[in-house]
Amino acid sequence: MQRVASSVLHRSYLYVPASSSRMLQKSLTAPADVLIYDLEDSVAPNAKNDARSRLAQFLEDNKGDLAPKQFAVRINDTETSFFKPDIDFTFKSGIKTIVLPKVHSEENLRRLACHASRPTSVIASIESARAMYNLGAIAKWKTPKISIGALLFAAEDYCADTSIIRTPSRLELLYTRSQIVIAAKAFGLEAIDMVCVNYKDDSYLKEECEDGRRLGFTGKQAIHPSQIETINHTFVPTPKEIDRAARILHAMTLAHSSEADAKGAVGLDGEMIDAPMLKQAESTISAAKAAGLEIPDVRENSQT
């Protein structure tokens, strides 16, 4: 969740209601790359204060177990009466990453920055037409203490705001999702895809994950622990992609190292391979290594 390239995996983001002691405790063994302890949508208005206190105690009691984990806290938005106590709690607790909902413009970020007492990374939740209109300004926003680490797409809120009718094809959200990815990539941010609300349909979840990865998203939100495995397995390069990337790297290494006939481009599998494809291959191998996937030795059977 930083503006620099990282080998740390950010594929799955699991929401954990802070109002449930049972779910808080279960989160310690969840295989999600990032845990999002939630004070917003999953907590009823009359339970907000208790949830905040419960989360504070949980974080204090489980410092050792949480130390190696990546986690964030989703606070309530800047227009609510819960925002100020939420933000005071997060800074007091030393939480490094905040999910800020309903970021419609830079103004919401400025309100957050007014309370910042130390450097904090913010995952900006894109939920409205206004947010899309101001997307570039949101993505590039930064102060000495607050920086944007990721853009997160809240599809259901967005559809409610824009009157878009959701369909299984997701075509009505193609433009929006693509623009979020482009804005994120333009400013070196993570791009986090929408929740799959059909959490009991594994085949649809996989299809949606594959769709998101093709669009360029780096990870996906999860509302149930059963979704994590599919998300984690999908948001990594496939064996075929890894093999091809390894062969591109090998072929380009040979082409660049030839003293007699160094080349900037080579032929591979009937395609011309040059610098942009080399960059993609390097990214694929880096992601595969981060996920602990096997990188094939292609030195003996590479075809040029």
Residue 7: what pLDDT?
A: 65
Per-residue model confidence (pLDDT) at position 186: 97
CB 221 within 8 A of CB 74: no
What backbone torsions phi and psi does residue 220 show, to the nearest 5 degrees? Answer: -145, 145
Residue 303 has pLDDT above 60, yes or no: no
% of the chain beyond a pLDDT of 70: 94
The CA–CA distances, whole Å, from 194 to 18, 174, 209, 223, 289 equal 21, 12, 9, 10, 26
Residues 67-104 have pLDDT tens digits of 999 999 999 999 999 999 999 999 999 999 999 999 99
| pLDDT of amino acid 195 | 97
Tens digits of per-residue pLDDT, 15-26?
A: 999 999 999 999
Q: Is the pLDDT of residue 220 over 60?
A: yes
Task: Report residue 236's pLDDT band, with 50, 70 and 90 as the boundaries.
Answer: very high
Least reliable range by pLDDT among 27-31, 154-158, 197-201: 197-201
For residue 301, the model assigns a pLDDT of 61
Mean pLDDT, residues 101-110 taken together: 97
Spatial CB neighbours of 18, under 8 Å, sequence gap ≥ 6:
24, 37, 38, 39, 42, 43, 51, 52, 54, 55, 58, 73
Please give the average per-residue pLDDT across 212-235, as a whole number. 97
Query: Does 253 have pLDDT greater than 50?
Result: yes
Closest CA to 186 of 125, 120, 128, 138: 138
Other beta carbons less than 10 A from residue 33's beta carbon: 21
298 residue type, one letter: V
pLDDT at 3: 41
